[in-house]
Chain A
């Protein structure tokens, strides 16, 4: 909650045991890590903007478990959260990001020339390609904690900055609270519109406060580069197009991001980033690259193969329905994307998707032809 430590000092008059949450029914990363000893050690701390341990964990206390995925169960309210509460967040990060240690360094690589291939994923199978990430503006509180004044400042900064983009990146901003019915319908038809979160995972962390104040969508005239302002992060940046030219999507992604970062710097602002955690975002699951590169791809045969899950695991890929994170696949069409975010660079992750999807499509063709794919099983990446 904005401005102040919201009750924290008064809670200290109760013992840690009296305040410690009941996590006996819980199954999320926070619940696995937060012992009563750890709670006792961390509960009197707060970041300089007043974000407390209870603020960090509220979403995980309120949401014991998710049917499909192991949720994180904690959020950051500002950049400092990851420092002040490292005793909790480091093990959560390690658990969530495949053993990433507190001493590990994260590599950032936004040079699309380092990507090999990726321009010719078979469009008979790959319907669309997309890369997304998030960025936070240093010095401001994150969505769970920011005040209306901060959120509006972030919005204004973003509008100003994005207005300077040129060429194929030139575009327009649509504030959620001001858009006309027509604009709204167009954005829905383009699959661009985001709405007030309904997921209790997000609501319980305070991210939906004051909706739709300070929220909006920017996209370029070509509708291939899109920025969400003040949804789950300060900025979510998305590059997408129909078809299988992931290379082009990633190139535009890198160019756009680099340009935006430059424009923010010209105005005296930088993105939250450090050597250890890479780009800092609200949810610990999005640290590092914050990058999800994915395709919508037809895999009706492969997806029914008994080893589908194993194949994906070895390729370090993840499947979702085409509606996004909490949906199931429809008609054999899957959203296939990288499972990792931290500990691999952007180029490395997109490479995994490109190579992995190429393999999956090959497998699909084999199975279509009634042939076996046993000799195509990949090694664990």
Chain B
């Protein structure tokens, strides 16, 4: 379209173009922007004096960040002036999580993944089963028609859900964004969502402006998100200025939901009661494509490149950023000692029904895909579908007193 072409040649979008090519934007050295005093201080404090004490730490950043890498990257900045220290602050402040090996590092902008590639690439490899961003490509596939056997037995599966995130290219990410940038993200997204029609037509609720009644309704629907309390997030500066420019959009049917400016620019969620994962994923893909189209009409796009797929704040969400999951009752299987191994081999993860840091209550589990990067959306959802069907099979067999088998592990990348 002529209008988007003229926009493409505007100055603002040059950076957007560069970033879109996945080109390594050179990290500007601090000296280009800082005053004399900051320069002098840099010499007074060599990188070794600033290197964090990571001896008690157990996260991906701590495993990867050697003094040599720190020394090389400490004085670099992204074009938005974001530094290595800011990327790693959350990992320095949070030595370890009781249940999971956390990432310990966030991006402040799309260029963080380039400028600090020496660190991020190692973290990505560690977190994503050996995926090497220097040589591998990430496949994107949002064609939901390819999913087979995506209707679960509703005697076992209580609800189905798919979530991902999307970032608006050209605007800093939640750890780094200024208030104006965050408000711009909100404006761009909310304007686009207002263009959705049919079963996707909906309404935006700004966190700061919602009425008591609206708030209660969102709580009852399990839609409301609140100011992060996890130190993993607060130490990464994501909760600044709360609740300014944060909000929740959902369609009238309450099956498609978008969080604005929580841990990412947007978190996109498709969900339903029951076991129709295929339909949930269809709505997910359809909704995402429509939103993308609507922002493109106004000259914006999502952060994406061939190496990393969709770019999000936390390296753990790169690629698809996709977590497809179900709440499923598995009273017998969950007590079987082989349960964990079965999940492992199926590349699935269990959580409590309260979400990431909760334990399961009773026999109902949140089962979802473990992987995010290196496999497409369709592949991951199919893995989840096949996996959950397998778990239900096992449950049924155990009910009848029959034998179950641990499945062979699903193939990963070469390490």
Contacts and interface: CB of A to CB of B under 8 A. Distances in A.
Contacts of A54: 178
B241 interface: yes
A149 interface: yes
Nearest to A50: B38
Contacts of A9: 33, 81
B53 interface: yes
Contact of B34 (A5, A10, A148, A152): A5
B41 interface: yes
B286 interface: no
Kindly list the 7 A-B residue pairs having the minimum CB-CB distance in the complex, ordered from nearest.
A149-B49, A14-B180, A149-B45, A48-B37, A18-B180, A149-B50, A19-B180
A19 B81 contact: no
Contacts of A20: 179
B49 A10 contact: no
Nearest to A47: B37
Nearest to A150: B45
B22 interface: no
A147 B33 CA distance: 18
B89 A209 contact: yes
A9 B34 CA distance: 11
A4 B34 contact: yes
Interface of A: 1-11, 14-15, 18-22, 48-50, 54, 58, 61-62, 147-150, 152-153, 177, 203-204, 208-211, 213
A21 B52 contact: no
B291 to A, nearest CB: 24
Given A1-B85, A49-B38, A147-B85, A61 B240 contact: yes
A22 B244 contact: yes
B176 interface: yes
Contacts of B85: 1-3, 147
Interface string B3-34: 00000000000000000000000000010011
Given A50-B35, A62-B239, A5 B81 contact: yes
B180 A7 contact: no
A189 B45 CA distance: 38
A293 to B, nearest CB: 34
Contact of A49 (B41, B50, B86, B184): B41
A4 B83 contact: yes
A149 B85 CA distance: 12
B111 to A, nearest CB: 12
Contacts of B82: 6-7
A148 B50 CA distance: 5
B81 A7 contact: yes
Contacts of B42: 3
B239 A177 contact: no
A204 B240 CA distance: 8
Contacts of A5: 33-34, 81
Contact of A6 (B45, B81, B208): B81
7 contacts: A2-B50, A11-B178, A18-B179, A18-B180, A21-B241, A147-B50, A153-B45
Contacts of B145: none
A200 to B, nearest CB: 9
Contact of A211 (B35, B38, B93, B244): B93
- Name which of B56, B83, B180 has the most chain A CB atoms within 10 A of its CB: B180
Given A4-B30, A210-B89, 14 more contacts: A2-B50, A3-B75, A4-B81, A5-B81, A6-B82, A9-B81, A18-B184, A22-B208, A48-B36, A48-B37, A54-B178, A58-B240, A209-B93, A213-B92
Interface of B: 30, 33-38, 41-42, 45-46, 49-53, 56, 75, 77, 80-83, 85-86, 89, 92-93, 172, 176, 178-181, 183-184, 208, 234-235, 239-242, 244
- Name which of A3, A21, A54 has the most chain B CB atoms within 10 A of its CB: A3
Contacts of B53: 177, 213
A306 B189 CA distance: 56
- Name which of B41, B77, B242 has the most chain A CB atoms within 10 A of its CB: B41
Nearest to B74: A3
Nearest to A147: B50
A150 B37 CA distance: 14
A168 to B, nearest CB: 34
B35 A48 contact: yes
Contact of B77 (A4, A11, A61): A4
Contact of A209 (B49, B77, B92): B92
A353 B82 CA distance: 48
A1 B38 CA distance: 12
A20 B242 CA distance: 14
B240 A62 contact: yes
Contacts of A18: 179-180, 183-184
A211 B244 CA distance: 28
B180 A11 contact: yes
B394 to A, nearest CB: 44
A14 B42 CA distance: 29
Contacts of A15: 180
Nearest to A14: B180
A76 B28 CA distance: 28
Contacts of B35: 48, 50
Contacts of A209: 89, 92-93, 235
A21 B240 CA distance: 11
A2 B89 CA distance: 11
- Name which of B50, B56, B82, B176 has the most chain A CB atoms within 10 A of its CB: B50
Given A14-B181, A21-B244, A148 B41 contact: no
B376 to A, nearest CB: 35
Nearest to A141: B41
